[in-house]
Structures are given as structure tokens and as C-alpha cells.
Structure 1
Amino acid sequence: MRVCWEQLMHLLNDFSEMGVVLSRVNSSCRAAPREPVNTFQTVSSNSDREVNGTDSDCFSSIPVQNKVCEPEEVLLPALPETVCVERGYITPQQVYNLLNAEEDQPALYDPSYILILDCRRAERYKDSHVVTARAAVTVIHPELGCLISCIDLQKYSIILLYAEEGCSPVGSVKAKADSPDLQRCFFQLSALGMDPVILLGGFAAFYALYPFLCTARVVLLEPERHTLTIYPSEVLEGALYQGTDSQASDHHIIKNLRITHVVNATANSPDAFPNTLRYLRLPLSDDAQQDLVEALPLASRFINTALRGEPPGRVLVHCSMGKSRSSALTLAFLMAHRSWSLLHALRWLKERRACTAPNVNFLRQLMTYEQQLFGSRLTSLDDIRR
């Protein structure tokens, strides 16, 4: 079903099924807050192994007690920092999460999910384009108008356009000069009642960050889409990712995202690359009995240490489906090291990974962790359910 711009904004900001939000993560690290004291210990093995040119080791967790002490000082809650994006535009990072959104299955497998139109010259499209993109001339002819019926256009939830580069306001003199074909396409679609969005910075900006999501192949039909690699969600730009155990064991994904550290929150999935990556293994169960009292601060510390390393690492947090256990650990990090309340952390995560769904037991323990970090409970289950 087609959505208008206002509906799209509502869709994106309210944890849409597409997992896209029109805001960017501020990837700079804040000063590290004081860590909650925990009684998990980590032991290193194979400490001489090489990871991306630096010494690393694999970690395994050893429970000692079932108690976490209160932090010596409480954190002051902060709000997530967002970057304003010009109306009608969407950032490369948001497009990345859009392309890799998952619910019961990857959204990109659905041919009606998103229409991506490449508004560059035909030879540039043939050379390389964003995966599943179509040459705009096959949809919107610059002189004859629409070559696809309005009924067919309306079936797409989102229509995305991009030129070679550019970030000038839609309709401005500079935008018309920089990318006349895109501007023509944008206004033709708008005249037909569509509400397209434009990739900020164009293909050049997207390719610079995600070359592995660009291809010379024309991928349109559903069987072709099922051959595509679906990547973990990007929680913090170029730093923190969350996904599934199958993604964590895919060498191409690990290589393309330049992952250096992995939090494995499964009970049964082995660490896929113990000789080349640093692991924190937390054998958790996704049920009402699982105690996270030691796992939450331990995962938070591990992620923070990796991201603040020299050079900074890239962390993948995963469980089996990337929904509950991994979400709980990611949320704990955002609370402890971004000073966000559970509610704000959960909103941030759901905007980037729509399938986020920690079970009620985990949510209650996260609320307790929030109280330990901030000295009072800032989030209730009613807040989360609204």
C-alpha cells in the first residue's frame, strides 16, 4: 500500500515494519560512565592470535556468584542525539537498515516492499547500482511520463530515488542543476500522488559505506531476491550491529562489515571464527527463568571496550533470531554507555531493527538494571507497550 510523506514519517518513527528512521546515529563515544561492579569474570585464551593486525583473544564467561553490586555513582539520563535530515531525504545508513529489515522473513524478499529508482546515466546503472534498483527510465520516462501504472506504483510501501551524488534541498536551483533527471522523476511521481524519498549524498555516498550492497546484477523478481545476503542491523553507525546466528557464521558478512568482536548470546551456536575474532560467550536461554543479572553489565563492558579500542572495533551482538536475547544485551549497553533510559534505548533499537522483541522477563530485568544505573526506575512496562 502506498503511503504519503506524513504517513511515512509516522511509519518510520513508530517502529515501522521496514525498520527505517529518518535520523542518524551519533557514532562518537561519550565519556564512559562508571561501570556497575559485577561478579562475572572473563578468562582469555589464545591471546597471541591476530585480529586485523592487532593482538586479540577469545573470551569465555565464568559465573561466580549471582549478585551485582550497585554502582558507586549513578548516571544522569541523556537523550539520543539525532541529526536533522532535509525533508524528502533519507541517509545511507537508514537505507542500509531498510534493505536489511526483517520480520518473519527479510522484507527485501517481497517485490512490493520497496521501489528503488536509479536516476543516473544508463551506463552508470549498468556498471553498478544499489541492490534491487531499477533504471528510472524504465519506470518514469523523462518525456512521455509514467511507464508503470499508478495502481502498480501504489503497491510499494516506499519509493526511493538516487542520483550520482548531491544533498541540496528538493526543488532548489542547485538540486535541479546537479541532478535534473532525479528532480524530474521526483516531481513526476509527486504529481501522480506518490511520495518518494531521495538518498542523501546519492549513490556515491552509499557506495562509499556499503559497496557490498551494490551490484551490476538486475535483481527484481522474488526468486532472485531470495538469493540476496541479508546483513545484521546497524545500531550505531560503523560500530555496533545486531543479528542472527546464521549471519554471525557468514564469513562474507563478517568480512564486509569488518567485525572484530562478537557477543554470542546463544546456548548452542558455536563461535564461528574463534581464531580471528574476539568473543564473549553468554549461553543464555530465551525464557522466563533466565537470569541476566551478570550478563547485562558484562556484555556492556565488553562492547564498550571494543568500541573504544585503538583502533576502534566493530561489534556484532547475536542470538538465534536476533530478537530477544541479543536485544536485551544491546539495550544494556545503550543504557550504560550512552546514558539512555530503557525506553529511549528501546525506541532507538526498534527504529533500526523492527523485529526487536526482548521477552517480558528480560524487560523486567532491564528495568532493574536501569534503576541500578540511574538510581531510579525511569521506564515502566506501560511505557514500553504504548
Structure 2
Amino acid sequence: MEELREMDCSVLKRLLKDDGAKCLLLDCRSFLAFSAGHIRGAVNARCNTIVRRRAKGSVLRLEQVLAGDDEARGRLRSGMYSAVVLYDERTPDSDAVKEDSTVTVVLNALCRDCSSANVFLLKGGYDRFFSEYPEFCLKTKSLPSLTSQSSIESSCSSCGTPHHDQGGPVEILPFLYLGSALHASKKEVLDAIGISALLNVSSDCPNHFEGDYQYKCIPVEDNHKEDISSWFLEAIEFIDSVRDSSGRVLVHCQAGISRSATICLAYLMKRKRVRLDEAFEFVRRRRSIISPNFSFMGQLLQFESQLLATSCAAEAAATASPLLGPKTAAAAAASAAATPTSPFIFNFPVAVVNPAYLHHSPLTTSPGC
């Protein structure tokens, strides 16, 4: 780790206070940890385990560890940062950085593509910096534990309001909200959280305020015959368009449990490059009653494998040694055969479903979610 210098928390604090725009902070923790709290202005730098495993012995590219932030990559390559600071949860110094850690992967990518960058490791990581300078950190509002949230919902059952309509829409990302048809019918609720567009994932929920908000409909039913995956990319593009216009979108179906939750999970998997189990846990902690039906879970699992296959194919193409020459025709055919081509395969093995999905929130089988 000779290339990796160290930076004390006090030095980083001065940098951020005096000229934070000249300092690029790369958070090398998981998506869930980054979402729970991070240093202000930090970018989540990571890559999925499949790509890392396939690329063993090869250095990943900057595009792979900073796939979601074109601006940071451009500024980095232009030499606009005086310092690039990497941090994880709590690594005390550069001697303690492990060879297979994300910090090492990111460092190697920087050395490969931005060799002139001044790269530092934040001593003590996020834990130490947050304990000393919490005012320079963004922390997610504490979410209710799943147990206590379920208890609250149970205690409200006597009021006659279904669980899925209690409270209001939940924030998944700053521009992405998840809720029910009832939430979508209350203009005061939509205006209070700054909603500018609604993605209606149903064939029968009305669009109440056509003149006031931008609407898009995905006409699917909540049953085992629907191919919701064929709408994933279109839904993701719509959400992106709302985000790019500095708006906020509410994704809803009837109950905000199955169809709309499925779309939110697909968005996180595609744009945040996370596995299904991580996306599911992230959304479930914000809306504990989510429960895509069994067929939708299968389609999400296939979507995950398609995303991983695409990522691995790009990695293989980027890291192929020129000494080995191009792929043989047989190898290319085998690779193409391994990538799913049909939009929806229903007969996935039951064993691939994480038991956590079943344990915390039974998969719905009835329509209307």
C-alpha cells in the first residue's frame, strides 16, 4: 500500500471547510451503509462481488467503481481535485487495509486511470470521523425497527384503515417515493413532499390530478401471469427523467406492496448496482409491508442475473489480455447462450429465493397490491 498516504480526520475537516469542491471523497462501504450515513459530498465507490471475482488478477476500471457518477469521473480525469480521500467503516491506517478490500480495488482503479491523483486513506474511517465531526456527515433519519413498526400497524388495525394506507408515502431515494393509491389521491400529501410526477403501476387506479402532475401508467395486474419485467427499463427511464428535471416521483399501485415495490426494487438494482437481497432490505426498512408476489420475485431474480451478466461481459471485454487475442467463436456463442434473452422465465428454482423475503414479509398471492 505504498501509493496510499494517510489523512487524519482533523485534516479532512479543514479541507471540507475551506474548499470541499477540491476534495473527492470516495465512500468504499456497502450501499446500505452509505445510505444509512456518510460524509457530506461523498460518492459511493464500489463494485459487485461477481465482477470482482471474475476480474481476479485484473485491475478494474474507474468506470466500474464510479459507474453512477460521470461528473466525478470527469473532474477526476481532468485533475480538478487536489485530494482524493478513500474511507471505509473503521480501518485505522494503510497497513491494515486488506488486499481484497474495496479500498484496494478503488485504489488500483485510481492508479490505473488517474495516476497523478493524490490519494489518501482517512484514518479510522467513517466511524471515527462521525464521532469527531458529526456536523460534516449526513445521517438518515432513524427508521423504526421492523418489530416496532409492525406493532404500531397492529395497534392501528382497530381504526379501520388498512396497514398499507397508514402514514404517508415513504422516501426510497430523495427523488423516489413509494406508496398506495390512497396516498396518490391526496393532493395535500403529494404537495407536502414535493411530488411532481406519479408512476401508476396498475390498470385500474385513477390518475386524480392529470393537470397538476406528470403521470405515467404501467397497466399490470398483481397476478402470477403478468410480465412486469417487460416494463422495467421504461419505468427506470421515467424515474430518471423526473430526477433529471429535479422533480420527485411517487410510484404506487393499489396497496404499495407488490407491483410498485417491484418497480422500486428494479430501479435500485439497475441504478445503484445492488443485488436483489440488498435492495429488498433497503426498501423493506422504509416500508416493512412490501411483498412482491412470487412471480414478480422470480422476474426480479432474472433481472438481477441479466444485470450481472451484462456487467461481467463488459468486464471481460475490458480486461481481456491482448496477448490472448479475441474470444473464439465458440466462447462467444457460449457467453451469449449464458445470457437470458427472453424477458421473463417463470420456472425459476424455488431455492433461489432468499428465506428472508419469506420470513419478514410473506409473498402476496392475492391481486390488488
Which has the larger strand fraction? 1
Relative contact order: is structure 1 or structure 2 higher (C-alpha 8 Å, sep ≥ 6)? 1
Which has the larger helix fraction? 2
TM-score between the two structures when normalised by the length of structure 2:
0.46
TM-score between the two structures when normalised by the length of structure 1:
0.44
